[in-house]
Amino acid sequence: MSDATAIPDVIEGKKELKGIEGWLALRIFGYVIVGPIQFVTVPSLPGFALTAILFIAGIYLYRGKPVGVKLAKIGEGITIGIGVFLLAMVPFATSIGMSAAELIHLGVPLLLGGIIWYAYFCKSLRVRNTYFPEAAEVPASAKESAYEREQRLAKTALRNAALAAVTQALKIGVITRAQAALIEANMKGNRSLRKILEELITTLEANGETAHAAVIRELDVELFKGCVSEAQLPEGQPCSQ
């Protein structure tokens, strides 16, 4: 399986980014090395199919073949689907022998990781320059506008993923509708993603839902560290590779 908790630098704003370096190299390493090791540790038929797709994608990406980008998008799309399925099963957790916290802990990283890596392969300037050089040859002014647009899309994707977590918490009854509405209103006001997560954790703890708060706190530590944990990808200051 792919390493869904890794956070890529979706916004690659430097000029002439090209070649297998940075986040692209890290993802290829995950596809070719980490994924197969994880599958051997916890084998399953769905895991084999996803691991095989991403392994082949990694090989093509390493060889500079554009088809690798298409396969990577397919694999990350499947990862998103698995994350959505796990979160949809939360209301029926006891019937399948798992707790709601376990399903959330498994589903949220897959969903967020899939969304972020899919966005990376769609929008990264390094990916574009490396595998589609013809499309990358645009005026400097157009590159700058694309960079700004990619920042907006990245922030929107992260905020929407956090919004989905709040909706799921409301659905399983660990926060009230009024509390969910307040958190969603603050989120749509473009506040820091870290502050939104802290607000959700505080609300859960105030409701006595310490177990669910602990799950969200662990995801906060795992998923939103580095510059992403401080705020929502500040303009003109992309995360370093």
> pLDDT for 147-156, tens place per residue?
677 666 766 6
User: According to the model, what pLDDT value does residue 94 have?
Assistant: 85
The tally of CA atoms less than 13 A away on the side-chain side of residue 29 is 8
**C-beta separation of 238 from 9 below 8 A:** yes
Q: Which two tokens stand for residue 209?
A: 């839902």
Dist CA 79 CA 112 (whole Å): 9
Dist CA 241 CA 238 (whole Å): 9
> pLDDT for 62-77, tens place per residue?
999 999 999 999 999 9
**C-beta separation of 216 from 165 below 8 A:** yes
Buried b (16+ CB within 10 A) or exposed e, 114-141: bbbbbbbbebbbbbbbbbeeeebeeeee
